[in-house]
Amino acid sequence: MNDDLQKRIQAALANPQNMGELTGADAVGTVGNADCGEMLRLWVKFKEQNGKKVIDRATFQSFGCETAIAVASLATELIRGKTAEEALALKTEELAGELGPLPPMKIHCAQLVEGALRSALEPEKVEDKPASPAKAPTLLDSFSRPKDGTVKLTFLDEEK
């Protein structure tokens, strides 16, 4: 990754926007990438504005990948005030906003954000249907509570 992109990612991470669960959300979408193990959940709340239903606020939770967190931070700001259709029309590289073009190995990080947005806004088109906003567990819950037959992830203490 080039130094400029790394600096822009670090700048976005220094003041991440819209992190955390959004209580009272109207929609929630969750996606995971089996290759890198990253998961991202996105909550969306709508409001009426000039007779249109637009996104009032969107928040996210993510573990691990800095690029996905940086893109989610920028994308959740970018989609405010847009209708669901306008938000869905944004291309992957547009969601990454001021990060600019991502290198090929990092494009899937932005696609994770795009996937969570699609999962929230058009769940009928996404195979893994999201839980309803009221019942959606936090990502930490998802990691901590294994279903039968699944592996429980245990986080290691930070190296000293």
Residues that are catalytic? 36, 109
Site map 2..31 versus ligand FES, x via CB under 6 A: ------------------------------
- Let me know the angle formed at the C-alpha of 46 by 41 and 49, rounded to the nearest 5 degrees: 150
Q: Binding to ligand FES by residue 65, rule CB under 6 A?
A: yes
Tell me the residue ranges of DSSP E strands in the chain: 27-32, 39-49, 52-62
- Let me know the angle formed at the C-alpha of 69 by 67 and 75, rounded to the nearest 5 degrees: 100
Applying the rule CB under 6 A, the residues between 118 and 157 that interact with ligand FES are none
| List of residues 6+ apart from 80 with CB closer than 8 A | 55, 56, 57, 58
- Residue range at the interface with ligand FES (CB under 6 A); choices 33-41, 49-57, 91-99, 137-145: 33-41
Alpha-carbon distance 55 to 84, whole Å?
Answer: 7
Q: Binding to ligand FES by residue 38, rule CB under 6 A?
A: yes
Q: Binding to ligand FES by residue 33, rule CB under 6 A?
A: yes
Report the candidate in 62, 55, 41, 67 with the shortest Cα–Cα distance to residue 128: 41
- Let me know the angle formed at the C-alpha of 94 by 91 and 96, rounded to the nearest 5 degrees: 120
Q: Which of residues 36 and 126 has its CB atom nearest to ligand FES in the complex?
A: 36
Q: Binding to ligand FES by residue 108, rule CB under 6 A?
A: yes
Q: Which of residues 34 and 134 has its CB atom nearest to ligand FES in the complex?
A: 34
Name the residues that contact ligand FES, by CB under 6 A: 33, 36, 38, 65, 67-68, 108-109, 112
